[in-house]
């Protein structure tokens, strides 16, 4: 069976359609996968950025809380100059802390590290409006100082005196967005009651259709939010898209090619079936000839598989598979029908012309073989005695009695039956007798050795004697030289077949060969007639 290779690659419309469909499917899949991948990556990255905002804010609160804890540890919690100096020292040490104050338990301020700043406070809330943290002694609230938002952190000490750290919320704390999104996003920190503590955005900001990413702190009543413009987000990280699409297209192309390849090498049996449907099995014809005169007496039909590309596959590459899978039956009828069509005029004109067809033993033994054969030959209006059925002796006949019965039936109908490859098969000479065939085809093996080997001559002579006894015609196969013709004639063989006269030919060439021979014999006949006259 012909195997696939890149050299034999041929494009057909279905192949192109398969590759195009595969490309389209993979590109569509690639598009959605790339989009989903990019989106999930964006979600993850923006989630992480929101976390960063929250962490930075928590660290700021931690810093305020730590400064108050240090003051408590130092022990002087009052409004004396020494205590206020200690407050200022903490403010100095911690950049985020703007002020430290002493407050009553209701949240009202008693004194401040910088008492002059007190008058600039706006929106100072009472304890009841302060928001608790996971550490319940820490309360958070918003206060406005000098027109800017600040975060108040009160450390409730459980007695009448509480400490408050005022944290300045530097919006540059939130300048964390990547360059592509910086002008299309806002980063906000809020208290969980919705009060904004700080926001970072560029002046020329354009967040038309925002997508929000929100994270809330587990430790403090704080919310971080990043709002990004949808269109800007769609463009962000888009560099992944085209490589992903290219990869998808490549995969689609490879998949399409693999699909075609598997279609092409889908298995020899499927190929055989397709060839049967397309009637690609054609008869070739090899003449049988009279050894002495060279006159063409008939021909053997030999199957050839003509592929789409015009290549010719020899029978040994498909007959065994066709035989083992039962396809030999439709194949035989296809070939015989074609042969009867090709040679119809010749067969009807020259009644002595014989057409030999190869029949596998299992087909011969089919119940409907003989009726079908009769019908096929009758509908071609060809005489049954012009048809020779060649049964090979190479394979063992399982049911010799039944085979003999079929051979008798065929002979009764006028058909001729040849035993093919005589001398190299499993069955002994006794089978020849039992089968009752009309013709014996001596295998090429004997023809090859007859000019070199004396024992071959004896065997051929013996076969010729046997044939005579059984009233069988003898045909020697595979004759390639004139010496072989001579040797065969000496043994008493009268008919032959072989490259010496012609290889198997397609119908046009075979018809030409027959015509040329006919013309020659006509000339000879005319000359003979002239001589006689
Ligand atoms: P076969 O029936 O013994 O056919 C004779 C084979 O010998 C053919 O080979 C033919 O081309 C080859 N041959 C004839 N003269 C010469 C010669 O001088 N020199 C050499 N080297 N070869 C020669 P082919 O056509 O390849 O067929 C091989 C076998 O395939 C046939 O052997 C036959 O058993 C089988 N076959 C062919 N066509 C059919 C068919 O339609 N049906 C069945 N069942 N078998 C077929
Ligand atoms: Ca044959
Ligand atoms: Ca043969």
Domain boundaries, the chain: 53-236, 278-532
Q: In angstroms, what CA-CA distances link 177 with 25, 33, 42, 236?
A: 37, 26, 12, 12
Contact status, residue 287 vs residue 299, Cβ threshold 8 Å = yes
User: Across residues 332-340, what is the average pLDDT?
Assistant: 98
More confident residue, 394 or 9: 394
Index of the ligand 1 atom closest to the CA of residue 390: 2
504-524: pLDDT as tens digits: 999 999 999 999 998 988 888
Please compute Rg for the chain using Cα positions: 52
| Number of Cβ within a 10 Å radius of residue 296 | 21
Highest mean pLDDT among 41-45, 63-67, 123-127, 204-208: 63-67
Place of tokens 């119809």: 344
Give the span between the Cα atoms of 140 and 340, in whole angstroms: 106
CB within 8 A of 159, min separation 6: which ones? 105
How far apart are the CA of 519 and the centre of ligand 3, in A? 29
More confident residue, 181 or 328: 328
More confident residue, 51 or 521: 51
How far apart are the CA of 302 and the centre of ligand 1, in A? 6
When the pLDDT of each residue in the chain is averaged and rounded to a whole number, the result is: 90
Ligand 1 neighbours by CB, cut-off 6 Å: 286, 301-303, 314-316, 319, 328, 332, 335, 358, 360, 390, 392, 420-421, 477-480, 497-499, 504
- pLDDT category at 309 given cuts 50, 70, 90 is very high
- pLDDT category at 526 given cuts 50, 70, 90 is confident
CATH of domain 278-532: 3.20.20.450
CATH fold of 53-236 reads Beta-Lactamase (3.30.450)
Q: Please check the confidence at residue 4 and state whether its pLDDT lies above 50.
A: no
| No. of helices (H) and no. of strands (E), the chain | 17, 20
Tell me how many degrees the CA angle 188-190-191 measures, rounded to the nearest 5.
170
Contact status, residue 229 vs residue 208, Cβ threshold 8 Å = yes
The answer to whether the Cα torsion of 79, 84, 90, 94 is positive or negative is positive
Give the span between the Cα atoms of 300 and 514, in whole angstroms: 14
**Within its chain, how far is the Cα of 456 from the centroid?**
57
How crowded is the C-beta side of 373, counted as CA atoms within 13 Å?
Answer: 30
Place of tokens 């991948």: 37
Give the span between the Cα atoms of 106 and 124, in whole angstroms: 12
How far apart are the CA of 300 and the centre of ligand 1, in A? 9
3-state secondary structure of 216: strand
361-417: pLDDT as tens digits: 999 999 999 999 999 999 999 999 999 999 987 777 778 899 999 999 999 999 999
More confident residue, 271 or 121: 271
Among 276, 315, 392, the mutation site with the greatest number of ligand 1 atoms within 8 A of its Cβ is 315
pLDDT of residue 11: 62
- Of 435, 354, 327, whose CA–CA distance to 391 is shortest? 435
Lowest-pLDDT choice from 45-59, 92-106, 113-127, 282-296: 113-127
- pLDDT category at 2 given cuts 50, 70, 90 is very low
62-97: pLDDT as tens digits: 999 999 999 888 887 889 999 999 999 989 988 889
CB within 8 A of 199, min separation 6: which ones? 171, 174, 186, 187, 188, 189
Index of the ligand 1 atom closest to the CA of residue 504: 11
What are the start-end ranges of the H helices in 398-506? 400-412, 429-435, 444-449, 454-469, 482-490
How far apart are the CA of 392 and the centre of ligand 2, in A? 7
The answer to whether the Cα torsion of 353, 359, 363, 364 is positive or negative is positive
In this structure, the residue with its CA closest to atom 20 of ligand 1 is 478
How far apart are the CA of 333 and the centre of ligand 1, in A? 18
Give the span between the Cα atoms of 217 and 228, in whole angstroms: 21
The pTM score is 0.60
In this structure, the residue with its CA closest to atom 6 of ligand 1 is 478
Give the span between the Cα atoms of 453 and 21, in whole angstroms: 65
Q: Which residues pair with 59 in a beta bridge?
A: none
Q: In angstroms, what CA-CA distances link 408 with 363, 388, 391, 399?
A: 16, 13, 14, 14
Give percent above pLDDT 70 in the chain.
95
Index of the ligand 1 atom closest to the CA of residue 281: 41
Q: Please check the confidence at residue 3 and state whether its pLDDT lies above 50.
A: no
How far apart are the CA of 354 and the centre of ligand 2, in A? 13
pLDDT of residue 7: 47
In this structure, the residue with its CA closest to atom 13 of ligand 1 is 478
Contact status, residue 144 vs residue 166, Cβ threshold 8 Å = no
Q: Please check the confidence at residue 525 and state whether its pLDDT lies above 50.
A: yes
Among 304, 318, 357, 358, the mutation site with the greatest number of ligand 1 atoms within 8 A of its Cβ is 358
- pLDDT category at 168 given cuts 50, 70, 90 is confident
- pLDDT category at 177 given cuts 50, 70, 90 is confident
Place of tokens 């194949």: 331
pLDDT of residue 1: 46
Give the span between the Cα atoms of 458 and 477, in whole angstroms: 17
Q: In angstroms, what CA-CA distances link 461 with 227, 388, 458?
A: 106, 24, 5
**Closest ligand to the CA of 479:** 1
User: Across residues 296-316, what is the average pLDDT?
Assistant: 96
Give the span between the Cα atoms of 475 and 491, in whole angstroms: 12
């Amino acid at each position: 069976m012909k195997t696939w290779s890149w050299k034999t690659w041929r494009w057909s419309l279905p192949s192109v359609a398969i590759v195009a469909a595969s490309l389209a499917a993979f590109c569509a899949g690639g598009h959605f996968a790339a989009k989903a991948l990019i989106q999930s990556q964006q979600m993850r990255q923006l989630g992480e950025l929101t976390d960063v905002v929250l962490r930075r804010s928590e660290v700021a609160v931690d810093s305020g809380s730590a400064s108050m804890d240090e003051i408590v540890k130092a022990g002087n919690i009052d409004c004396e100059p020494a205590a206020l100096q200690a407050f200022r020292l903490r403010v100095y040490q911690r950049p985020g802390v703007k002020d430290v104050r002493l407050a009553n338990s209701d949240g009202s301020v008693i004194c401040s590290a910088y008492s002059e700043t007190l008058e600039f406070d706006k929106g100072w809330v009472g304890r009841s409006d302060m928001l608790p943290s996971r550490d319940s002694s820490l309360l958070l609230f918003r206060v406005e100082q000098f027109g800017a938002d600040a975060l108040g952190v009160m450390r409730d000490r459980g007695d009448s005196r509480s400490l408050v750290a005022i944290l300045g919320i530097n919006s540059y704390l939130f300048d964390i967005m990547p360059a592509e999104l910086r002008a299309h996003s806002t980063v906000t920190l809020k208290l969980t009651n919705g009060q904004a503590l700080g926001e970072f955005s560029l002046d020329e900001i354009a967040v038309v259709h925002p997508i929000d990413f929100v994270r809330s702190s587990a430790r403090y009543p704080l919310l971080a939010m990043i709002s990004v413009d949808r269109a800007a987000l769609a463009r962000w990280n888009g560099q992944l898209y085209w490589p992903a699409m290219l990869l998808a297209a490549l995969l689609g192309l490879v998949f399409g090619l693999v699909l075609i390849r598997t279609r092409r090498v889908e298995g020899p049996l499927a190929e055989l079936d397709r060839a049967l449907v397309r009637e690609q099995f054609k008869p070739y014809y090899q003449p049988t000839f009279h050894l002495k005169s060279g006159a063409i007496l008939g021909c053997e039909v030999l199957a050839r598989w003509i592929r789409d590309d015009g290549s010719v596959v020899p029978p040994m590459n498909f007959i065994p598979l066709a035989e083992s899978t039962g396809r030999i039956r439709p194949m035989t009828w296809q070939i015989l029908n074609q042969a009867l069509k090709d040679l119809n005029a010749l067969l009807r004109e020259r009644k002595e012309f014989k057409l030999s067809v190869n029949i596998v033993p299992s087909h011969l033994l089919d119940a409907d073989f003989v009726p079908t054969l009769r019908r096929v030959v009758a509908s071609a209006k060809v005489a049954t005695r012009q048809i020779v059925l060649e049964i090979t002796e190479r394979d063992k006949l399982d049911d010799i009695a039944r085979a003999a019965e079929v051979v008798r039936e065929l002979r009764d109908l006028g058909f001729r039956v040849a035993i093919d490859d005589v001398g190299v098969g499993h069955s002994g000479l006794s089978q020849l007798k039992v089968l009752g065939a009309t013709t014996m085809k001596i295998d090429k093996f004997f023809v090859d050795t007859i000019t070199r080997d004396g024992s071959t001559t004896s065997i051929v002579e013996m076969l010729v004697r046997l044939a005579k006894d059984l009233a069988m015609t003898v045909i020697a196969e595979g004759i390639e030289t004139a010496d072989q013709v001579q040797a065969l004639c000496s043994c008493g063989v009268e008919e032959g077949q072989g490259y010496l006269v012609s290889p198997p030919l397609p119908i046009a060439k075979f018809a030409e060969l027959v015509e040329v021979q006919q013309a020659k014999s006509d000339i000879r006949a005319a000359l003979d007639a002239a001589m006689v006259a």
